[in-house]
Amino acid sequence: MKCIYCNNETNLTISDIIPAALTGAKLRKKFVCRAHNSFTNDHYENTMIRQLDIFRNRIGLTERDGDPVRFSADLTIGEYTSEKNISISDNKSIMDTDRLFRMKDKQGRTVLVGPKDKLLKISGATADKITDLPFADISISSKTDIRDLFISETVLHAIAKIAYEWHCYVNDVEEYQEDTYGLITSYILDPEQSNTLVNIVNDAYVTMLADRFSRTGSNMLFEYNDSDGNVYVIFCLWNVIAYKVKVGMHSEKPSMAHCPIAYFYHADGSQNGTMFGVYGDFHVNASPPNAGISELYLEIKSRLSKLGERDLSREYLQNCIAKLSKKLPAYQEHTISIADLLDFEHEDRIIPVYILEQIYTHRDEYMPSEDFHRNMQRILQTDDRFVLTKETTKGIVERYINMDREGSFTTLLSKAIEFFETTCGGRLDI
């Protein structure tokens, strides 16, 4: 085994081929030397990842320790607006920490925000000067230019790195081959070099393929040998934008049929692949980054805005139940509250519990002979994805709090989980 950038045989380390921050599915191999691994992390990937933090959070990806992803955002609470970007992970996290931060009121006066006991420690602070914030009226926004997010030189270098390492991974390339990979590696290893190898895919076939098999936050990768003599890797990030990367050359003779395999890496950690047959000259249409992003601007924006929606897959609910189950005994023993159990601001608690409740409530309509997905669409009267508006969530939370007071919530939840696991095939075999 040698480093795929320099053929160094010592000091090899494990590379995250798709950075772990961009997918729950681990894809790693020990084929990059320490120096080159930190080089690509420090120069490209870390920057790319920080810029995508708000979307990583929406997809439900977590940090390595399992904590929700924090991101910088502009914050509005009622009439108050944040003075500068504040680092948060969800609404609850705003008041989680002991820190104080500044906001401005309508008149432009600065107010200090934080937990009451902390505020009272400031000299001159008295209880009558402190008001409660309208926490029901929070909005979090982040100004993002999609050119910075997706086609800056830094990001394009990161994409080239992912494509090259992925190509080496699936083809068992375990050394640096200058003749074949000279161009891509010289681009990856030189932050000053302008991009000529990465383009933006604008191709109905690729869109169709990604739409068919992607879930919220899935990454899709496949490669093909083009009749122009090059190998191209197609990398579709979160089903929002797809890149076409020229990774090297091939010496295959033109053939009538190809059977590329598209690999899908999902946010929940699972992965799968699908083979697709293409005949004749197969090309993926792509445009240079600036032109590509202009052509696809509206589509990319709209796909980005949908990243907070949740799949109606059995796996999604199973994952959520697994997390919920860890806290359930403590809730039933009354050592934690319903707020702790459901983490009211966390979409991946409220949404799945709501879906489970709906399945259970409409259990007479559930048809085990039909597939789970079709049942979901019918019961929830929606399409592939599901999202709750702020108002609806508020109503649901209030209803659950009332049920909690009456002591009926725990019964409902247990029955709903049991129905899902027995009748809907949701029991995890572990």
Is residue 161 part of the contact set for Zn ion (CB under 5 A)? no
Q: How far apart are CA 39 and CA 188, in angstroms?
A: 10
Block residue for tokens 């190809």: 258
Give the C-alpha separation, 165 to 173, whole Å: 9
Per CB under 5 A, does 8 bind Zn ion?
A: yes
Q: Could you tell me if residue 163 is left (phi over 0), alpha (psi between -120 and 50 degrees) or otherwise beta?
A: alpha
Sequence-ordered strand ranges (E) for 83-225: 86-88, 101-104, 110-113, 138-141, 198-201, 219-225
SS3 64: coil
Closer residue to Zn ion in complex, CB, 175/343 = 175
Nearest to 246 by CA among 180, 310, 337, 176: 180
- Shortest Å, Cβ 202 to Zn ion: 34
Six token digits for residue 47: 């920057």
The Cα–Cα gap between 340 and 366 comes to 31
Of the pair 38, 290, the CB lying nearest Zn ion is at 38
Q: Least distance (Å) from Zn ion to the CB of residue 36?
A: 4
Q: Quick one: which segment of 7-15, 92-100, 290-298, 344-352 binds Zn ion (CB under 5 A)?
A: 7-15
Rounded to the nearest whole angstrom, what is the least distance from the CB of residue 14 to Zn ion in the complex? 13
For residue 369, what is the DSSP state? T
Interaction between residue 3 and Zn ion (CB under 5 A):
yes
Please say which residue, 59 or 163, places its beta carbon nearer to Zn ion. 163
The nearest distance, CB 153 to Zn ion, in angstroms, is 22
Show contacts with Zn ion in window 107-136 (CB under 5 A): none
Task: Write down the least CB distance from residue 179 to Zn ion, Å.
Answer: 18
Give whichever of 32 and 233 is closer to Zn ion, judged by the CB atom: 32
Binding to Zn ion in span 10-49, by CB under 5 A = 33, 36
Cα–Cα distance, 183 to 189 (Å, whole number): 10
Contact, 198 vs 287, CB < 8 A? no
Q: Which stretch binds Zn ion (CB under 5 A): 3-11, 14-22, 46-54, 274-282?
A: 3-11
Q: Output 35 or 291, the one with its CB closest to Zn ion.
A: 35
Q: Where do contacts with Zn ion occur on this chain (CB under 5 A)? A: 3, 5-6, 8, 33, 36
